[in-house]
Amino acid sequence: MTAQLFEVQTDGTLASPFPATTFRTNSTRAEYYLVPLNLLAGDFGEDTNVTYRLRAWEGTDWESATLRGESDDIVVHFPAWKATGGVPTVEYLTGLKGFMLHPRITLQLPVPTSNATLATTAKQEPEPLILQTSSNLMDWQNFATNAPTQGVVRFDIFASDEHRFYRVFAE
């Protein structure tokens, strides 16, 4: 399991100035804690608030991870660190709350066949999934709710001339 702290930019994008780390494995009491790193916070003014987000995943990277999750944003205050001759470091993530890892869900719509297959890439089978449809990306209707079989959920979608959008989420 890998974890990495990201700085949340003003436009909502994430910057990754910090190296990734792992979770402790030396005892069951410590397994939910990260292996500590010395994290230099960056070059910014004194008495500054910086927003961070912690991501954790199982796999080689976030994009291809089989399980992944992220924290709510955490605001870390950096007081007048230049006056003391110090270096801004992230030591405590006060306000960090636990979060769940979820299986990565991908929707595959084969063409030109008349059905769609939803494949989940998780080690454990997830809860039932809901498929919704929309013609305008604003108004969504439940289409079907199906449970997985061997990590795959199948929804039968019949071909039509109408353009449809699809989204899937766990129940």
Last residue of a domain, one of 78, 113, 144: 78
Do 6 and 73 have their domain in common? yes
Do 67 and 131 have their domain in common? no
| Range from 27-41, 76-90, 92-106 carrying the lowest mean pLDDT | 76-90
Question: What single-letter amino acid sits at 78?
Answer: F
pLDDT given at position 123: 42
Highest averaged pLDDT of the listed ranges 80-84, 112-116, 128-132, 145-149: 128-132
Q: In this prediction, what percent of the chain has a pLDDT beyond 90?
A: 8
Query: Does residue 95 sit within a domain?
Result: no
d(CA 33, CA 120): 28
Do 120 and 58 have their domain in common? no
Domain count across the chain: 2
Name the residue range of residue 41's domain.
Answer: 2-78
Query: Does residue 130 sit within a domain?
Result: yes
Query: Does residue 42 sit within a domain?
Result: yes
Highest averaged pLDDT of the listed ranges 24-38, 41-55, 127-141, 144-158: 127-141
d(CA 76, CA 26): 28
CB 65 within 8 A of CB 59: yes
| Mean pLDDT of the 39-66 span | 79
Query: Does residue 144 sit within a domain?
Result: yes
pTM value? 0.62
| Structure-token match 């976030």, residue found | 62
